[in-house]
Structure 1
Amino acid sequence: MTKEKFSHLFSPMKIGHMELKNRIMTSGHQTTLVENHLPTEDFAAYHTERAKGGVGLIVMEAHGVHKTGLNTPFAIDASHPEIIHLHKKTAENIHKHDGKLIAQLIHHGREAYVSEANNDVVAPSAVPTERFHIIPRELEEEEIEEIIDGFVQSALHLKEAGLDGVEFVGSHTYLFEQFWSPTVNKRTDQWGGSFENRMRFSREVITRVRKAVGDDYVLGMRMSLESQDDVGTSADSSLDVIRHLHELEKLNYWSLVIGSSATYKGSSYIVPPASESASQLFSKVKQVREIIGALPLILTSRIYTPDIAEQLLADQCADVVGMTRALIADPHLPNKLITDKGKQIIPCIACNQGCIGRYQQHLPIRCTVNPVTGREKYYADVPATARAKIVAVIGGGPSGMMAAITLKKQGHDVTLFEENDCLGGQLNILQGGLYREQVRQWRTYLINELERLNVQIEKGKRFTYAHLKRMKPNAVIVATGSKPLLPDDVDNTTISYYTSWDILNHTPVKEEDILVLDWKGDWPGVEAAEFLAVQGKNVEIVSQSYGIGEAVQQYKRNKLLERFDTLKVNQTPHFKLKAMKQDSILLEHIFSGRIEERKPEAIVLATGQDASEALEEYRRLKNLRCEVIRIGDAKSPRSLDEAVWEGFQAALNLSAEKEEEQING
């Protein structure tokens, strides 16, 4: 049934001499599983797991080709000879599972994270970059030749390592596109000026690499169909570039994305948030088809479900689909789909928190919804426990559900207690925001897993000593979460007040003039503000942070701030709540101490979370003659990815044999 429904997705195809078993691809994305600019064993394990899961084509992250193009301390250097034997093992692993392996080759040009080891940032011209606030050094002609040679040498290294091809990264206003763009390329020599000259760098790279690797090696070009800003390439200009390079007859495929690294606005589309859709992003793809004819075309961006992927293939918008974040969330998506286990697919929630968000902090890749991601070397195969235990998990939020699922998979006898009538905890709040359908899908997945694994669930009941007496558990996991933290003087005011949770639970708000008090700059405050603004309310959001949405991943924040401006949300950073008076709110500037007064009709409080009830629960239980563990917000309020990891980790720790049981707070 599945193969018939997804007949296009699971049909084989050829790209050059490379045969793919299906049309599912994981596109190039940075993992930070790198040391000294070379991939680690964790890196190899990460990609191997995706091949094991049935992915047809794996395109590994951007590999630098020259010392001036290593844009972070964790960029892979493909020009280093050591890359050959390191990638050889990865290629063997991928091929063992009938997958194909390609690596991206890149020079970032002026789009770089400056560090002590990388402070020589270069570009075609010394034009400042808006997003990174860098004024690059203009390349010398001999350096341009060095970089071209770097592409050639790197491609030869990757071919020797056994990879099936390389992909040039011409997207997102990196060096290829910096040469194309008349806005960035102000040169007057043979590398700038006319369109022909601005394309010279790309022509030389493609032509020389093709000559070096031969005709039987796959070469592809990734580019942004639209930059979505005024610096990168427009849609019409992109078509001219595609036409020009296609006429070289050196490339085996094109891979299209959207966005630009050069500006805040354009960067929002590098990893588009849930507010965007694939159909919106690739509205002009048919014009590309008219240029490249039968040459394979790959699309990547917001293709997060098999249904979306299948439709794009059926409509002939693409020949291969990049389902990157979906495969970060669940590397076994293809195999689960083909074996009619679609309900067991872990859905991506488009939070950008553990993937691109951690890359931007120079941290190893993780995934909010899958605690194994980035840790495949250690946890890809969680073994059954040597000694089954009876475990009570108190709290049916994401941390508690993850703990219960993991424990049950290991063979423990698990009972999950939830005092409310429905599972989900704060997911029930989060899913009430705009563009949060994928959160609802993940909540459904977790509940389905609990049911599939026959975890005993007791809802609408508070855990009591009677349960202890009946169960005689070996361990109790306290995952009772938190509740909104209210200011001490909240009862002083006669102004109507709501918590951000009330708003995202869709509590009716009759008042029109709303003040949102945001403590952290995270999702509860900003999403409550947007939810009210969409209803036509007059909203001001006051945030105790450097900027509105400071704690939200930057691509999501960029789009949010765009919508705030469109909705005319008044934005006031740098202020905190000073006092709540009878008919007014006093705000204090966090730097100068200046006081301002507001008299709204209603206030919305996003002023933190309170875990005091969880602390009471833990203290009530901690002296039991069994192991008692706190996880998630029950330990202290924390992020969603941290809570999920703690649930997983607690389950693993309980499965480890110990000489003595211990209290673990």
Structure 2
Amino acid sequence: MKLMERFRLAHLTLRNRIVSTAHSEQLAVNGLITPHLEGYHLRRARGGAGLIIAFGSASVSATAANRFNPALWDPENEPALRRMADAAHAEGTPLIAQATHRGAREVIADPDQEHVAPSGGAGFLPSGTPRVLNKEDIASLVRDYADVARRLHRCGWDGIEVTAYGTHLLEQFWSPVLNRRDDAYGGSPENRLRFGSEVLRAVRDAVSGDFVVALRMSLDTRTRRLGLSRDDLLDIAGHYDELGVVDLFDVVGSSSVTADGAVGTVPTADYPRGVYRELAARARSRLRAPVLVAGRVLDAEQAEDVVTSGDADLVGMTRAMIAEPRLAAQIHAGTAELARPCISINEGCRRVGASLTLACSVNPEVAHPELAETPLPVDPAGAGRTVIVGAGPAGIEVARVLGRSGLAVVVLEQDDSVGGGIGYALLADPHQVRQYRRWAERALSEHGVEVRLGTRATPSVVASPTLERVVFAGGSSPALPPWLESAHYEVRTDADYLAGAWEPAHDSDVVVYDPEGYSAGSVIALRLARATDRKVTLVTPLGSAGGQVETPNRIRLTKGLLRSAVRVLPYTELIRTDDSKLFLRNVVTKDTTELDAGSTVLGCGYRSPDEEQLVSLRAACPHADWHVVGDASSPGLIRHAVTGGSRLAHDILRRLGTG
């Protein structure tokens, strides 16, 4: 495969063309690099990545200090930087750091500190009216970039990626809308590019030739608000290429100027796979320096096509490697089918937008690095047999981890396929969900796990005197609360609708009640509203529909709702009176409106574990060590089930190893 061929990047020789591109980890603490952050990138180096570009939006200046991103201007980070470089190099992977100043877009650690920008009045950026940078400020920032480059080089890093992407300060200077200066840094295109030119030259001049300088930029902002066309952006790339100071162009698309544009910076599942390939191809036909492309490149076949077609020299497979750190090594070994796939749900990797640490729905070690550690050695012969009831996300994870350690594991699944609740990942890429099911089957088989499909766990099945332990991962079932179930209305659950067990009449009035604020309420309301004669109202006590959904998918859902006939009532709860009538009550004003008697109510998120089955199974096998995990313990998200399954398996192995 050309994807796995060595590639010469400036002075570096990459072992393959797979790159983990910069992305927000939110794993720093007060700007300091943590062991969690170090280990996160080291696992991808161990997994065979050709190049790692670490630290999404690491700051170059105290004027852009963000407590969750590394402060590359802070000398206290030097020991960690040295450890990271040494560890990555020991695994054969070069390491580059993204460094930036986000200007008026920055979320500054000190809320009382002023923001800065090329010009004032940048009203669509989150900080309101920033202070305008003067020439001394600009010169100071250029020195900051150079100082960071020297620090990285001194600590053994292989390069720096200066980024304009996401409407960072460089892009703010490029924009004739955001940059209305009348000095040497504004006005003509050449003047607006001057700050970027000075930064790139300063970085290049600050260190010797054995140091890569990369530039990350959008070649299509997908908005007119910046005043930069696709041709303008390609000309900007061409300008910096002609300066001879950029060794690598990291090409992506969209911008963070609008809410919809911000979604495109980390594309959701409704974006096409390889969404920015065409932009990379345009860049590669124009530029002398190599081109890297990122954006929903999710598997080896797709990545191979990118490089063999000549669209790009290097391929970012970042979210694929969040899900599977060993992806590159598995591709190299010819076992790519054993790579855990990203399902493109954005449920974990984009919670960073809410200032939460990076996570992954299918890979628990991202948020919980202790689950990446090698379990204590155990004697499989003395560990006994384990039966796992349910092959949903939690059951799969328990079986996989125990099977990997050599334990005898049997999985009982009443359906005819594995995956369970993964099928209700409504915002995920359906193709990737199918890939997840296939991966689970292969991974369990690879580790010797016996999976019995179409087999319901009954007392007679588990009543075995040789059974050492039982893990009940049987999931949950719809369970309406009594106050809603007994109301004088037709009441259904989200599960009824999603499973195809119920469909309202085309001319009916449906109230979708979503008290939890995840994706189901919005997705179901949109689907129901496709019938033109149906009146659909989405009710939630939260401040917005999908209030618990991470930002990119929430914007995606909000756009759909705004363009639909769905009536959305935020800050509204559903209550019942003593005579079994239902009312809509605004939680702020306390105003109430009686629900029409002919309305159908669809409740979202009402689930409970199947305790009756658990009790009967336990009674049949009282001698076994029993565990309950996933939705069978506490119904939640896919991420919760997978993490719970991994944690339980590690706990079992730890007890076996120390017992």
TM-score (norm 2): 0.91
Matched residue SS, 1:642: helix
The gaps in structure 1 that reach 5 residues or longer are: 1-6
1:44 to 25, 38, 43: 38
Which residue matches 2:282?
Answer: 287
- Verify: 1:478 aligned to 2:472, yes or no: yes
- In 2, Cα distance between equivalents of 1:582 and 1:234: 62
Change in CA separation of 1:600 and 1:75 when aligned onto 2, cut-off 3 Å: farther
> Are 2:570 and 1:576 equivalent residues in the alignment?
no
Given that residues 366 and 374 in structure 1 are in contact (C-alpha distance below 8 angstroms), is that contact kept between their aligned partners in structure 2? Answer: yes
Match of 1:53 in 2: 47
**Which residue matches 1:631?**
629
Q: Name the counterpart of 1:106.
A: 100
The alpha carbon displacement at 1:253 in A equals 1.5
Give the C-alpha shift of residue 558 in structure 1. 1.0
Distance 1:415 1:278, change over 3 A: closer
1:78 to 72, 77, 97: 72
Q: What is aligned with 1:529? A: 525
State the secondary structure of the residue aligned to 1:177.
helix
Instruction: Confirm whether residue 92 of structure 1 aligns to residue 93 of structure 2.
Output: no
**Matched residue, 1:365:** 358
Aligned to 1:167: 161
Aligned mate of 1:645, from 634, 643, 646: 643
CA deviation map 1:508-538 (0-9, x unaligned): 6362244322222212222222333456665
Q: 1:279 to 1:336 in 2, by over 3 A?
A: closer
Farther-moved stretch of structure 1 (192-201 vs 559-568) = 559-568
C-alpha displacement at 1:57, in angstroms?
Answer: 0.8
Aligned partners of 1:414, 1:471: CA distance in 2, in Å?
A: 15
Letter matched to residue 372 of structure 1: E
Partner of 1:150: 144
Question: 2:364·2:371 contact (CA, 8 Å) conserved in 1?
Answer: no
RMSD of the TM alignment (CA)? 2.9
Cα 1:66–1:589, aligned 2, differ >3 Å: closer, same or farther? same
- In 2, the alpha carbon distance for the partners of 1:279 and 1:379 equals 29
Q: Which residue of 2 aligns with 1:210?
A: 204
* Structure 1 residue 327: Cα displacement: 0.3
The alignment status of 1:266 with 2:261, answered yes or no, reads yes
Residue 590 (structure 1) aligns with: 587
Partner of 2:406: 411
Say if 1:87 and 1:492 are closer, same or farther in 2 by CA, change over 3 A.
closer
Alignment counterpart, residue 546 of structure 1, candidates 543, 551, 556: 543
Specify the SS of the correspondent of 1:343: helix
Q: For residues 26-66 of structure 1, what are the alpha-carbon distances to aligned partners after superposition, in whole Å with 9 as ceiling and x for unaligned?
A: 00012233234222222222212111111101101132111
Q: Does 1:393 align with 2:391?
A: no
* Equivalent of residue 425 in structure 1, options 420, 428, 446: 420
Contact 1:24 1:322 in 2 (8 A): yes
CA distance in 1, matches of 2:562, 2:133: 38
Q: In structure 1, the residue corresponding to 2:257 is in which secondary structure?
A: coil
Structure 1 residue 100 displacement after superposition: 1.6
Question: Percent same amino acid among aligned pairs?
Answer: 28
Q: Which amino acid aligns with 1:161?
A: C
Alignment match, 1:556: 553
How far does residue 487 in structure 1 lie from its aligned partner after superposition?
4.3
- Structure 2 gaps of 5+ residues are none
Written as runs of structure 1 = structure 2, the 5 A alignment for 1:592-631 is 592-599=589-596, 603=600, 605-614=602-611, 617=614, 621=618, 624-631=622-629
- Separation in structure 2 between the aligned mates of residue 74 and residue 109 of structure 1, nearest angstrom: 16
Query: Hey, what's the Cα distance between the residues in 2 that align with 1:160 and 1:115?
Result: 27
Residue type matched to 1:521 in 2? Answer: G
Q: Write the distance in 2 (CA, Å) between the matches of 1:112 and 1:606.
A: 39
1:334 aligned onto 2:331: no
Please give the secondary structure, in 2, of the residue aligned with 1:417: strand
* Aligned residue in 2 for 1:382: 375
Distance change in 2, residues 1:411/1:202 (3 Å): same
Structural mapping, 1:222-237, within 5 Å = 222-232=216-226, 233-237=228-232
TM-fit CA distance, 1:158:
0.7
Q: Shift of residue 582 of structure 1?
A: 11
Structure 2 distance, partners of 1:269, 1:478, is 40
For 1:3, the equivalent position in structure 2 comes to: none
Residues 8 and 314, structure 1, Cα contact 8 Å, conserved in 2? yes
TM-score, normalised to structure 1, is 0.90
Name the structure 2 match of 1:517: 513
Q: Using the alignment, how far apart are the partners of 1:157 and 1:80 within structure 2?
A: 10
Letter of the 1:125 counterpart:
S
Distance in 1, matches of 2:447 and 2:599, equals 46
* Residue-pair matches, total: 651
User: Structure 1: which amino acid aligns with 2:515?
Assistant: W
Deviations 1:302-332 (A, max 9, x none): 1112222122222221111101000000011
User: 2:361 corresponds to which letter in structure 1?
Assistant: T
The 8 Å contact of residues 280 and 292 in structure 2, kept in 1 or not, is answered as no
Correspondence for 1:303 among 297, 307, 310: 297
The verdict on how the C-alpha distance between 1:465 and 1:111 changes in structure 2, with shifts beyond 3 A counting, is: same
Shift of 1:647: 0.5
Tell me the secondary structure at the aligned position of residue 344 of structure 2. coil
